[in-house]
Amino acid sequence: MTSAAARRLRLAPLTLLFLAACTDAGPVSAAGTLTASLVSPNGPEGAAVVVLFGDGLGPVSTAGGADVYSREGVGSMRVVLIHPTGGEIAFQVAVADTTQPPTFVIQEVAGPDDALRPDLSEYSVEVVR
């Protein structure tokens, strides 16, 4: 075996490692749909009012059995979700850039018994692409 062939053989694992590292380009900026779910410390909920803030917000649809109503504002969208029997509060929202999700503010949450939750500090919104 020539020294050039031996050198290529020694460099082959390094080349493969470099190529494998280059294949994961990370998230690509593009329009798409995000799924947002209310994370509740109380389990199933009956309703929620969530306000989204961000540019390029599009239509909203259900993603968890709740009825969804929305109203657009300038750079914001108010979303009302009502689950008739109590359950997962989730929705999908179209966005101009899936790598830049909107900011969410939870304004109200009601349990399956329609009683408003007095403390929203432990609630959050989980977003997946």
Kindly report, residue by residue over 46-96, the tens digit of the pLDDT: 999 999 999 999 999 999 899 999 999 999 999 999 999 999 999 999 999
CA distances from 116 to 48, 49, 120 (A): 9, 11, 10
Q: Residue 29's pLDDT is what?
A: 85
* Rounded Cα–Cα distance for residues 32 and 2 (Å): 54
Kindly report, residue by residue over 8-35, the tens digit of the pLDDT: 555 555 554 454 555 556 678 899 999 9
Q: Structural domain of residue 52, as residue ranges?
A: 32-128
The whole-number average pLDDT for the span 104-125 is 98
CATH at 118: 2.60.40
* Number of domains the chain is built from: 1
Q: Please report, as a single letter, which amino acid is at residue 66.
A: A
Flag whether 109 is in a domain.
Answer: yes
Backbone angles phi, psi at 18, to 5 degrees: -65, -45
